[in-house]
Amino acid sequence: MRWNWQSENWPEWHYDPAALEALERAFLLGAGKLVGAWSHLSQQSQDELSIELLTDEAMKTSAIEGEYLDRASVQSSMRRAFGLTADRRHGMAESGVADLMADGFSNWQPPLNAEVLFNWHRMVCRGREDLQDIGGWRRSGDPMQVVSGPYQKLKVHFEAPPAADMPRETSAFVAWFNDTEPQGALPALTRAGLAHLYFVSVHPFEDGNGRIARALSEKALAQSIGHPSLVALSRRIEHSRKAYYDQLEANNKQMEVTSWLIWFAETVLKAQDHSRALITHLISKAQVMDRLRGQINERQTKVVLRVYEAGPEGFSGGLSAANYITIAGTSPATARRDLGELVELGVFARTGERKATRYWLKTDH
């Protein structure tokens, strides 16, 4: 098997810019809309959105690699990273990935260097005792392979360059990343997609390469638009995890990578749509809670806020009276009365009858 890094043209990537033009334009248009919507949020709402978005991204970027974290611990760690009050102790893995996401969000402007990558690796691998090289390039373990299947019939999906080549390969990657940073050197999606594929092809760390590659894509997008990208990239990738790995595998054997860049670009645009819906959701929440001030009781306030916390998609299957009783800690009769008032106030829309009755946030405020 011949891998991309064994090509005589490595690392000169080949792709069709024309196939990406419309996607690049759509991204820049969407980025402008996102930044515009962001600017209409209060500082409190911006912090709330950042924590919510980055907590979800931290959870998803770990889930892509098969690591499932405690959400409350990640969110508490994220609050601490933003200088806000944290209400619980943090697990090592949760605090590490939260710090990675927060650092990438806040420090997207400085050029890339080895120490940034080492610091990110220490964050990603915080608490790990099974790795030899944390905060440094891998030095052993050749051949570094990504495999699956039973031991007797292992399938090799990828083999990375030898550990001895890491200083040279990583130096070339960092130089490429910084040389392509000036506005216009490479279109936003193209640069972010190439950065991801290039980094995982080098595979410079013993573990954590995928999470760092996704953080690099976010950094590249932010540098291209001059603002944190605000896109839920890992969320979308985790949603299409198999396709993600299939694309990476197909494109680590060649230097012609148009198919990867198109897939990556379309994924970013879907992530952008989700982020736009989340910002709209937060604006609606602020408007609704302001309108309801003095009109609803503490039980109703608690439930309405809990429904908004579920995000733009809301509760799976809608809010039921049983949900209300559990969240508010009240009786069935009180729950029915409270819900009826919230429908009259235009907060919830009601569907179904009897046990099938469900309540949904109204979106036409």
Q: Which domain holds residue 239?
A: 4-279
Q: Is residue 285 part of a domain?
A: no
> Which pLDDT score is estimated for 1?
60
Claim to verify: residue 342 and residue 266 sit in the same structural domain: no
Same-domain check for residues 185 and 139: yes
Domain of 343: which CATH number?
1.10.10.10
Examine residue 289 and state whether it is found in any structural domain, yes or no: no
257 and 307 housed in the same domain? no
In this predicted structure, the answer to whether residue 94 has a pLDDT above a threshold of 80 is yes
Query: Are 174 and 307 in the same domain?
Result: no
Residue 284 lies in a domain: no
Whether residues 274 and 300 share a domain: the answer is no
Which of 88-102, 108-122, 134-148 has the largest mean confidence?
A: 108-122
What are the pLDDT digits (tens) for 176-223? 999 999 777 899 999 999 999 999 999 999 999 999 999 999 999 999
pLDDT at 363: 76
Q: What is the mean pLDDT of the chain?
A: 93
d(C-alpha 296, C-alpha 147), whole Å: 56
Residue 151 reports pLDDT greater than 70 = no
Report the candidate in 263, 244, 159 with the shortest Cα–Cα distance to residue 201: 159
pLDDT one-digit tens code per residue, 281-339:
888 888 899 999 999 999 999 999 999 988 887 888 999 999 999 999 999 999 999 99
* pLDDT > 90 in the chain, percent: 76
Per-residue model confidence (pLDDT) at position 316: 85
pTM of the model: 0.87
**Position 264 pLDDT exceeds 90:** yes
Give a yes or no: residue 85 inside a domain.
Answer: yes
